[in-house]
Amino acid sequence: MASVNKAIIVGGSKAIPKDALQRLLSKTEPAPGGCMLYTGCVQSNGYARATVNRKTDYAHRHVYRLAKGPIPKGMDVCHSCDMRRCISSDHLFLGTRLDNMRDAVRKGRQAKGNRLPNAKLSPSVVRAARLASALGASTREIALAADVERSTMRSALKGHTWRHA
Ligand SMILES: [Zn+2]
């Protein structure tokens, strides 16, 4: 009887989403706040990358799709916990890219060590802006989120200003 059951499992191995999700979650370590930090491939920008069903994407985006459903066009999967390599589906929510960037800019402004609270740009805001740019946001979108002139943002993104951010 055992061999029959096994045959059924093997025969049905055509990428069951639950299995892919389990596989991703098996590569995590727990962290305070209920975070599940991915221990596989993590990029220099802090986001984890994984391949599921031959598609490579950020691990948290895979988890969102597997656990909650499709990601509508123009939407980003955001972290309520701000831990980029966390893939707990409880910590993931959908936001527009602009929401996501405004959130990053706001947090950048509040970051410790920002000695010029009235300056519109700061190292942490510039870092958030560069990350948004790497993720595909346009200069216009980012400038809007950071509330600066487009030319100011373009210079910062290109590294003409804020080279050491
Ligand atoms: Zn988390």
Query: What does the pLDDT look like over 41-78, one tens digit per residue?
Result: 998 888 999 999 899 999 999 999 999 999 988 788 98
Give me ligand 1 centre to Cα 89, in Å: 8
> Whole-prediction pTM value?
0.62
How many Å apart are CA 92 and CA 58, to the nearest integer? 13
Q: How far is CA 156 from the centre of its chain?
A: 22
Residues with CB under 5 A from ligand 1 (ion): 35, 81, 83, 86, 88, 91
Determine the pLDDT at residue 49: 95
How many Å apart are CA 135 and CA 126, to the nearest integer? 14
Break the chain into its structural domains and give their ranges: 15-96, 97-158
Give me ligand 1 centre to Cα 64, in Å: 13
Residue whose token pair is 């123009």: 74
Q: Lowest mean pLDDT: which of 12-16, 93-97, 136-140?
A: 12-16
* 45 Rama sector, left if φ>0, alpha if ψ -120 to 50, beta otherwise: alpha
* Residues 101-112, mean pLDDT to the nearest whole number: 70
- Cα separations in angstroms, 113 against 15, 106, 124, 152: 47, 14, 9, 22
- Cα separations in angstroms, 145 against 89, 93, 123, 131, 132: 26, 19, 16, 13, 10
Tell me which residue of 159, 136, 154 sits closest to 47, measured CA to CA: 136
How many Å apart are CA 104 and CA 119, to the nearest integer? 16
pLDDT band of residue 2 (cuts 50, 70, 90) is: very low
pLDDT band of residue 111 (cuts 50, 70, 90) is: low
Give me ligand 1 centre to Cα 104, in Å: 16
